[in-house]
Amino acid sequence: MEIRLFDKCCIIAPLTPKLDAIECRRLYNEIKNYKGFSIGIDLTFVQDCTIEFIEELYKIEPLSIFNIPSDIFTLFNIMRVDKHANLFVSEEDFQANKHRLINRQFNIV
């Protein structure tokens, strides 16, 4: 797990290709150590995640996620993770807090 600290930002990058229950506990314990920081999770190296990872996302407030692979992004949209966490395309967007990804789910009436 790689941890980078900036002004008031803490970026945590899991270095495993799959986020399972064990990695989620490690990630959650690391996030607890950085209270007061804006937490960002970099999913560059992640290829797959389990339901435990998504359940942990609901416990952590506020949280931002960026560099999301397309498979995981589709899963996030279906499970409406964007309502609980800020989703960004890149690290620069996270640091600037701009260009947030939002799934609006419009309906035709």
pLDDT in tens, 14-35: 999 998 888 888 988 888 888 8
Beta bridge mates, 12: 3, 41
Contact yes or no for 20/45 (Cβ under 8 A) = no
* Placement of tokens 């560099």 in the chain: 67
Max Cα-Cα span within the chain: 47
Query: 3-class SS at 5?
Result: strand
Question: What per-residue confidence (pLDDT) applies to 46?
Answer: 93
Contact yes or no for 80/49 (Cβ under 8 A) = no
pLDDT tens digits for range 57-71: 888 878 899 999 999
Q: How many residues does the chain have?
A: 109
